[in-house]
Amino acid sequence: MDESFYRNVLDNLMDGVYFVDTDRRITYWNRGAERITGYYRQEVMGRPCHDNILNHVDTTGECLCQGKCPLAFSLEDGKTRKTDLFLQNKSGERVPVSIKIAPIWEDGRIVGAVESFSDSSAKLAALERVEKLMEENLTDPLTKVGNRRYTEMTLHNRFDEIKRYNWNFGLLFLDIDHFKRVNDNFGHAAGDIALRAVAENLSRNLRSSDFVGRWGGEEFVILLVNVNNQEELIEAADRFRRLIASSKVPYQGRQISVSVSIGATISREDDDFDSILNRADRLLYQAKHLGRNRVESVLKEAEGSAGKDR
């Protein structure tokens, strides 16, 4: 079969394909490359691929054509490469592409390279849809922090970290005090605003490695990594308590202020998912019973209960 047959095969591929010599001058450019980039064959033949044609950038936005060109690396070391990046088409649009590069050998030496690339916009869009669905499934729609499912998943992950790395963690169980009164006095819309304000206050003041989720109703769970002692735990919990108590939420010309009670505990060697949550919940009820707007971290013998109006 003559050369025209192989060129015809390459021209009927959906992927873009082009060849370069050792100076990265384009020696072949198929119809797929024309379709994806907008550049016709006669516009690019004989020009270096880095001559304002493809303008490859990586996912961080760094231009690769002059310094970190994967095709140039393959010409130097003779290795094949595969990566995802962006090219700029003739219209100036950034197009996500998956590329594959292979050197061309002749008589034991590299005489050029071939690069194939495919438009991965559909793949990228699909990944974005998956990420959005995951976010919707794991985020509480009202407060925008993790929902109960996400909180449970994260708590299980923390126990896995204890097994692998022996990292203790702190758990704070928070409940907004007298939340029913907010709804009764101001209306449920105001209650929703107060919930969002508390969630925002908590998430804004977390370390990047920590986690906050809405457990349900007016209850939140915070997971703190690498908490080594009771003093660190109480200090963190009391900081959250004071931040919320000192904040006011404007609503229809009035100011809504709320406080939280917190049950705080550190993971123990014999803990499991249920035991640490039950202990934190008992500590939370203890904080309610002892006056609210406080942190409790050591279980005491307390009579009675916090009552229905938490």
**Total-model pTM:** 0.62
What is the pLDDT, as a whole number, of residue 310?
58
Grade residue 301 by pLDDT with cuts at 50, 70 and 90: low
Q: What is the pLDDT of residues 75-126, one digit of tens each?
A: 999 999 999 999 989 988 888 999 999 999 999 999 999 999 998 887 777 7
As a whole number, mean pLDDT of residues 242-271 equals 94
Q: What is the pLDDT of residues 152-174, one digit of tens each?
A: 999 999 998 888 778 889 999 99
| Identity of the amino acid at 301 | E
What is the pLDDT, as a whole number, of residue 221?
98
Calpha distance 296→298 (Å, rounded): 6
Helices (H), the chain: 3-11, 31-37, 41-44, 70-77, 121-138, 148-165, 179-186, 188-204, 230-245, 273-289
Map out the domains of the chain with their CATH numbers.
3-124 (3.30.450.20), 139-296 (3.30.70.270)
What is the pLDDT, as a whole number, of residue 305?
45
Q: Please tell me whether residue 111 adopts helix, strand or coil conformation.
A: strand
Contact 150, 138 (CB under 8 A): yes
What is the pLDDT, as a whole number, of residue 309?
55
| Cβ neighbours for 168, distance < 8 A, ≥ 6 positions apart | 162, 226, 227, 228, 266, 267
Grade residue 2 by pLDDT with cuts at 50, 70 and 90: low
Would the pLDDT of 308 be above 50?
no
Cα three-residue angle 49-55-59, rounded to 5 degrees: 130
Would the pLDDT of 262 be above 70?
yes
Beta partners for residue 18, in sequence order:
29, 115
Grade residue 68 by pLDDT with cuts at 50, 70 and 90: confident
Candidate list 218, 232, 301, 303, residue with the active-site label: 218
Q: What is the pLDDT of residues 178-210, one digit of tens each?
A: 999 999 999 999 999 999 999 999 999 999 899
What is the pLDDT, as a whole number, of residue 228?
81
Lowest mean pLDDT across 52-66, 222-236, 279-293: 52-66
Whose CA is closest to 223, among 265, 285, 252?
Answer: 265
Grade residue 1 by pLDDT with cuts at 50, 70 and 90: low
Would the pLDDT of 303 be above 70?
no
What is the pLDDT, as a whole number, of residue 234?
96
Q: Please tell me whether residue 212 adopts helix, strand or coil conformation.
A: strand
Would the pLDDT of 66 be above 80?
no
Would the pLDDT of 304 be above 70?
no
Check residues 85 and 308 and name the one with the higher pLDDT: 85
218 is catalytic: yes
Per the prediction, the chain carries an average pLDDT of 90
What is the pLDDT, as a whole number, of residue 306?
45
Q: What percent of the chain stands above pLDDT 90?
A: 70
Whose CA is closest to 227, among 201, 242, 207, 254?
Answer: 207
